[in-house]
Amino acid sequence: MKQRTLILLKPDCMERRLAGTVLARFEQKGFRIVGMKLMQVTPEIASKHYAEHVEKPFFPNLLGYITSDPVTAICLEGRDVVNVVRKMVGTTKGYLAEPGTIRGDFSISGQKNLVHASDSPESAEREIAIFFRPEELVTWKSCDDAFLLSESEREEA
């Protein structure tokens, strides 16, 4: 099933110049970029994005981190993209993440974990709307779909 998900390349990913490396993993898996922009997250955007954490004691640190430097917001599209991307990203705490995952390969921190990935199709829909206007998302077909997907899977995509 074709889905969309939100990826944020967080400030530590940008500061460490890992954006291209991380993005390449998603592209190499076969996902399409349908929206992407470099942006500074404002406290208002962060409060919408992390609404479930606003009243928690760690929120001020989270707010300071996510607004500290630019992020790259990316909307990816593809088959079961939410679940597959979550597996690719790895567990939240980088020091516990499995080798081969993005966090397992590049993060040793508990909080500075390089990447945000939507945790469900419903969250993805809500989060994409926070970071992208509908006209900023582009639907297109990739020329390599024929190599990555079976004929019936291409019809779904």
pLDDT tens sequence for the chain (157 residues): 589 999 999 999 999 999 999 999 999 999 999 999 999 999 999 999 999 999 999 999 999 999 999 999 999 999 999 999 999 999 999 999 999 999 999 999 988 999 999 999 999 999 999 999 999 999 888 887 777 777 777 666 5
The predicted pLDDT at position 154 comes to 64
3, 121 contact by CB (below 8 A): yes
Side by side, which strands form the sheet with 2-9?
32-39, 71-79, 2-9, 115-117
- Show the domains of the chain with their CATH numbers: 2-156 (3.30.70.141)
Residues 6+ apart with CB under 8 A from 17: none
- Give the pLDDT score at 1: 57
Query: What are the residue numbers of the active site?
Result: 116
